[in-house]
Amino acid sequence: MAIGAHFDGRVFVPDGPIDLPVGHRVRVVPEPDGGRELDSAPPEVRDFCTSHDLAGPVAELQRLVREEMTGLTGTELRIQTDPESGEKWLVVAAHLPAGSANVLAEYNAVVRRWVEATEPRDRDWITFTVALS
C-alpha cells in the first residue's frame, strides 16, 4: 500500500485518512512524489526541477491547487528569467475562467497550506500565480 504524505518539518503527515489501527507500526520510505507531474513539462522545466530537487514541492503545490481552486482548467509550468540578473525561477500558473468567484480566498488557501507543507529553500525557487482566461 502506498500513502501520500508530506513532511511538516517534524513528522510525516498523511494527505488523507488512513485505514490502520492506532499505534500500528509501519515503515516509511521517503520518496519524493511528483515525477509524473513533470513528465509533460517542457525539458527546461524538468531540468530546473531536477537540479533544484523540486519535483516533490511542485507536485504538492499542484495537488493543493487542484483541491482548493474551483473551476481550475489546468496548471502551467514555465521557467522565468530576470533579464537583468539572469536569475531563474519556476512559475506555477493556475488557469481559471475569468468569472471565477473567490479567486483571492482560494489563492490564499493554497499559499497558506503550501507554506505549511514545504521548506522555505524550496519555495524560494517557485512562484505561484493565477491566470484568468
- Residue 28 maps to a domain: no
- Residue 105 maps to a domain: yes
Which set of grid coordinates corresponds to residue 49? Answer: 526541477
Q: How many CA atoms lie within 13 A of 31 on its CB side?
A: 8
Q: What is the side-by-side strand order in the sheet with 126-132?
A: 74-81, 88-96, 126-132
Looking at the DSSP bridge assignments, the partners of residue 75 are 94
- Residue 103 maps to a domain: yes
CATH code of residue 37: 3.30.300
Confidence of residue 31 (pLDDT cuts 50, 70, 90): low
- Residue 15 maps to a domain: no
Tens digit of each residue's pLDDT (9 = 90 or more) over 80-113 = 999 999 999 999 999 999 887 899 999 999 999 9
Q: Which domain holds residue 96?
A: 33-132
Into how many domains does the chain fold?
A: 1
- Residue 112 maps to a domain: yes
- Residue 124 maps to a domain: yes
Confidence of residue 1 (pLDDT cuts 50, 70, 90): low
- Residue 6 maps to a domain: no
The lowest-confidence range among 1-10, 74-83, 100-109 is 1-10
